[in-house]
Amino acid sequence: MKIDGHSFKELCELCEKLESTSSRNAMITLVSDFLEKLSLGELAIASNLIIGRVFPVWDQRELEVSGATLVKVIKRIVGVDDRVFLKAFNETGDFGSAVKLLFERRRHLRQAMLMTKPLSIEEVHRGLEAIAEAKGAGSRKKKERILEALLSRASPLEAKYIVKAILGERRHGFGEALMEEAVAKAFNVPVEEIRRANMLTSDLGLVARTAALEQLQGLRRLGVMLFHPLRPMLAEKVETVAEALREHGGEAALEYKLDGARLQIHKKGEVVKVYSRHLTEVTDSLPEVVKEVREGLRAQEAVVEGEAVAIGEDGRPKPFQQVMRRLRRVKLVEEKSEEIPIKLYLFDLLYLNGERKIDEPYMRRRALLEEIAGTIPLVEVIFTKNVSEAEDFFKKALEAGHEGVMVKDLTSTYTPGVRGRKWLKVKAGPLTLDLVIVAAEYGHGYRYKWLSDYHLAAYNPATGEFEVIGKCFTGLTDDEIDYMTRRLKELAIAERGRMVLVEPRIVVEVGFAELQESPHYKAGVALRFPRILRIREDKSPQEADTIDKVKKLYEKQFKLKSR
């Protein structure tokens, strides 16, 4: 057993080395060597903090500290105004680096640091936990006091990474997949076992501790854990059902792709908890779903997946944004449930009465789901080898008001968090990308008080950065723009004239005509005629489409047209 008390500064110095290291193998070695020397408690914390996460994926705690609050506390500590903070931000282009720069320039802080005991990894984590757990009346002030006390003890480098942890930022390109490899190397276990255990538990810290303490035997004992939501299996997009059938060897299951909110539902006896696609608990927002599962699902213990669809008086599905209004609702839920009734449809079974089912083929999972669904309807499905039948089913889905179809390999197992070709989606409509808003500008005319022009960015997993590929000011209703303005102001980091730089938190689905070459953006491409189709509050920023996908889509255009 290692001794507790490694300094947080050591973790920060590691992150600095990662930022200046380009070799993937060298990065893995740096992190594995660091992990080996930690105590079990530190190991669980560090394996998350290094990749820009404070709590495990399944953990519902949130820090709820906005960029504006961070700026306010930092200005108070270092004694500067907005102008000086913005100058530091413009010099560095990064929030955490701006904080480090400001701390370095304040002599009184450097002198105070000489008199202060260094922060440990566990102390920093306890401080962040205390911020997350501050609730109720006066919680905002309490969060500010805890944060100020923590940052007042921090060196410039430590302040940089405390701020990055709060914002969920990382710029060193060392993400979850590389951390899995580092844990495997540190404790001499196969990386496939680390990945599988992490997929099942959504808890990389637990997996790292288990690997250190119990090695392979302990990892293999980890399984699906009730009320620890699994990351959803993801699908690739194809253009036609014919293409999808070919990919699956000529035969597949086709399901309606409902225009609703994807849910993962955990049941144990009378206890039912509901999670969004982003693994956020939304149980209290959907009491009718809880009631239906509690009374209708014929299983003592189960984890099922389904889709919540808002239904109009004519029985047809309402737009996706109506469902998201229900998921966001925490007050006046009963009134909202009458205004926007929700219908639940199930489509997969992951766990049943003590046994995980994700390793079973799709056909077996579907059959078991039919047995236990009781009164809860399943998403409509056909099994076919016939392209014409598949195309008719696709048209029928669109006519019913749905997005399109999911085409699933009949033998496919369920792989949490993995986007692969075993599930394919076919949708009608324009080319689309899920992008992140990184800045917004105040509009003109009657929109002059609203942040209505949005800078849209794709995710670069190699660097952890978001790269802008266009601007958009169309697609949202006035109510949605008003909502976005309020949200973006909460996420504001800095202002440059009429433009507000924001934390990259909000994902939007963007339709566009094509991608075109552009020297104005780092990616080298830009959206042509973009239009926001909907706000994707069910997606995290890291689930946004990647720069690599954008570039592949750009190249794919030239299969149909000349350069």
Residue 58 lies inside a defined structural domain of this protein = no
Do 342 and 209 lie in one domain? The reply is no
pLDDT value for 465: 87
Residue 227 lies inside a defined structural domain of this protein = no
Residue 390 lies inside a defined structural domain of this protein = yes
Which of the four pLDDT bands, split at 50, 70 and 90, describes residue 481? very high
- Among 394, 427, 460, the domain-final residue is 427
- State the DSSP string of 228-266: SPPPPPEEEE-S-HHHHHHHTTT-EEEEEE-SSEEEEEE
* Mean predicted confidence (pLDDT) in 315-329: 76
Do 14 and 135 lie in one domain? The reply is no
Residue 339 lies inside a defined structural domain of this protein = yes
- Rounded distance between C-alpha atoms, residue 457 and residue 75, angstroms: 29
- CATH for 48: 1.10.3260.10
- Rounded distance between C-alpha atoms, residue 7 and residue 21, angstroms: 22
Annotated active-site residue in 257, 273, 357, 427: 257
Strand 419-427 with 234-237, pairing: parallel
* Mean predicted confidence (pLDDT) in 109-129: 80
pLDDT in tens, 424-444: 999 876 789 999 999 999 987
- CATH for 550: 2.40.50.140
pLDDT value for 162: 96
Residue 59 lies inside a defined structural domain of this protein = no
Identify the weakest region by mean pLDDT among 252-256, 347-351, 487-491.
487-491
Is residue 125 classed exposed, middle or buried when 0-12, 13-18 and 19+ CB atoms within 10 A define those classes? buried
Asked whether residue 356 carries a pLDDT value surpassing 90, the answer given is yes
Which of the four pLDDT bands, split at 50, 70 and 90, describes residue 89? confident
* Mean predicted confidence (pLDDT) in 58-65: 91
- Among 122, 139, 167, the domain-final residue is 167
Among 157, 156, 110, 113, which Cα is nearest to 15's? 157
Q: Quick check: 356 and 197 in contact, CB under 8 A?
A: no
Among 73, 99, 103, 105, which Cα is nearest to 86's? 99
Asked whether residue 32 carries a pLDDT value surpassing 90, the answer given is yes
pLDDT value for 242: 95
Do 441 and 410 lie in one domain? The reply is no
Residue 126 lies inside a defined structural domain of this protein = yes
* Mean predicted confidence (pLDDT) in 402-414: 95
More confident residue, 402 or 513: 402
Asked whether residue 95 carries a pLDDT value surpassing 90, the answer given is no
Buried b (16+ CB within 10 A) or exposed e, 370-389: eebbeebeebbbbebeebee
Do 258 and 289 lie in one domain? The reply is yes
Which of the four pLDDT bands, split at 50, 70 and 90, describes residue 562? very low
Length of the chain: 563
Do 540 and 419 lie in one domain? The reply is no
pLDDT in tens, 200-220: 999 999 999 999 999 999 999
- CATH for 336: 3.30.470.30
pLDDT value for 1: 37
Is residue 335 classed exposed, middle or buried when 0-12, 13-18 and 19+ CB atoms within 10 A define those classes? exposed
Residue 257 bears catalytic tag: yes
Residue 528 lies inside a defined structural domain of this protein = yes
Do 450 and 540 lie in one domain? The reply is yes
* Mean predicted confidence (pLDDT) in 6-20: 94
User: pTM value?
Assistant: 0.76
Percent of the chain, pLDDT > 70? 94
Do 327 and 379 lie in one domain? The reply is yes
pLDDT value for 529: 86
pLDDT value for 109: 55
pLDDT value for 537: 85
Q: How many domains does the chain have?
A: 4
Do 292 and 252 lie in one domain? The reply is yes
* Mean predicted confidence (pLDDT) in 319-339: 68
* Mean predicted confidence (pLDDT) in 215-243: 92
Which of the four pLDDT bands, split at 50, 70 and 90, describes residue 314? confident
Which of the four pLDDT bands, split at 50, 70 and 90, describes residue 3? very low
pLDDT value for 451: 93
pLDDT value for 561: 45
More confident residue, 445 or 167: 167
pLDDT value for 112: 57
pLDDT in tens, 363-397: 999 999 999 999 999 999 999 999 999 999 999 99
Instruction: Say which DSSP state 186 is in.
Output: H
Asked whether residue 512 carries a pLDDT value surpassing 60, the answer given is yes
Do 87 and 179 lie in one domain? The reply is no
pLDDT in tens, 68-80: 889 899 999 999 8
Q: What value does the mean pLDDT of the chain take?
A: 90
Query: For tokens 């889709």, what's the residue?
Result: 307
Do 487 and 340 lie in one domain? The reply is no
* Mean predicted confidence (pLDDT) in 179-183: 97
- Among 427, 444, 477, the domain-final residue is 427
Do 303 and 411 lie in one domain? The reply is yes
| Domain containing residue 39 | 8-52+173-221
Percent of the chain, pLDDT > 90? 65
Residue 229 lies inside a defined structural domain of this protein = no
* Mean predicted confidence (pLDDT) in 282-300: 94
- Rounded distance between C-alpha atoms, residue 144 and residue 153, angstroms: 14
* Mean predicted confidence (pLDDT) in 132-146: 93
Asked whether residue 237 carries a pLDDT value surpassing 50, the answer given is yes
Asked whether residue 464 carries a pLDDT value surpassing 50, the answer given is yes
Do 45 and 177 lie in one domain? The reply is yes
